[in-house]
Structure 1
Amino acid sequence: MIHGSFGENGQLFFAIELITDYGLNLPVDSMLDTGFTGFLAINQQDIESLGWSYIGRDTLRTAQGETLFKIYLGKLILNEQEYEIPVYAGNEITEVLLGSEWLKILPLLVNYEAGILTLG
C-alpha cells in the first residue's frame, strides 16, 4: 500500500519511482488524474531523458479535445512493485500523471476529513 498526500486544491499525489533504461530509479511525485484513461502520462521533454523505447502513437480525448500522443514503454515502481507499462508523452503535460487504469488493479481509499489517501 502506498500512502499519498493531498494538494492545496484537493489533488491526489503519490510518490513513485521512474526507472530509466540506464538502471537509475528517479523518485517523482505524480498526480492521480481519473480523467486520463492510461497508466502514466509525462512531458515529452522529460521522457527523452529516461531512455525509454518508443512504441507508437495514439489519439486520446483530453480537456482540450483530441490530442495525438507518442507512446513509450516505461518502467516504474509503485507500491513497492515494478511495472512495465505504456507511457503517454505530450508537450502540454505539466505533471507526471497516474491514470485511471491503475484503479482497475489497485484499490484507492480516500478520506479527506481523516487525511487518508492510499493506493494498493
Structure 2
Amino acid sequence: MRQCMIYGNFGDEDELFFEIELMAGNGLKIQVEALFDTGFSWWLAINNQDLEALDWIYVEQQTMLTAQGDAEFDIYLGKVRINREDFHIPVYMAQGLTEVLLGR
C-alpha cells in the first residue's frame, strides 16, 4: 500500500480543504480546493458545469444515496494531481454540488 502526506487547511467551520489539480484532456490544469468529506466513499465529486472544460471520458450513470437523498451522478474517467502525483480516477458529476468533494 502506497502512503503519502497531503497538506490541507481548515475552513471557517473547521472543514478540511486540500489543493488539487483537475487535469483536462487538452493539458489544461485547473487548481481547486477540494473539501475532504469522510462520508463520501468515492474519490472525487464535482459539479457537472465544470465538465465541458475538462474533456473527460464518460463511463456510466448511477443513482446514489447522499445526505440529501437519492441523486443521479454521471461518472467520468478523470485525471487529477494530488501532492505532485497524477491519478486516473472515476469522477462523479452532479448538479448542485457547491464544493469539489474529495472522498476517503
Normalising by the residue count of structure 1, what TM-score does the alignment of the two structures yield? 0.80
The aligned counterpart of 2:75 is 71
The aligned counterpart of 1:28 is 32
CA distance in 1 between partners of 2:63 and 2:43 (Å): 15
The CA deviation at 1:5 is 0.1
Q: Amino acid of the residue matched to residue 3 of structure 1? A: Y
Counting aligned pairs with the same residue, the percent is 50
Question: 1:1-120 to 2 correspondence within 5 Å?
Answer: 1-100=5-104
The CA deviation at 1:48 is 2.2
The CA deviation at 1:68 is 1.4
User: Tell me, which stretches of 5 or more residues in structure 1 are unaligned?
Assistant: 101-120
Q: Amino acid of the residue matched to residue 39 of structure 1? A: W
Render the CA deviation track for 1:88-113: whole Å, top value 9, x for unaligned: 0000111111012xxxxxxxxxxxxx
CA distance in 2 between partners of 1:40 and 1:23 (Å): 19
Q: Name the Cα RMSD after superposition.
A: 0.9
- Structure 1 stretches of 4+ moved >6 Å: none
Normalising by the residue count of structure 2, what TM-score does the alignment of the two structures yield? 0.92
CA distance in 2 between partners of 1:45 and 1:67 (Å): 16
CA distance in 1 between partners of 2:53 and 2:16 (Å): 26
User: Tell me, which stretches of 5 or more residues in structure 2 are unaligned?
Assistant: none
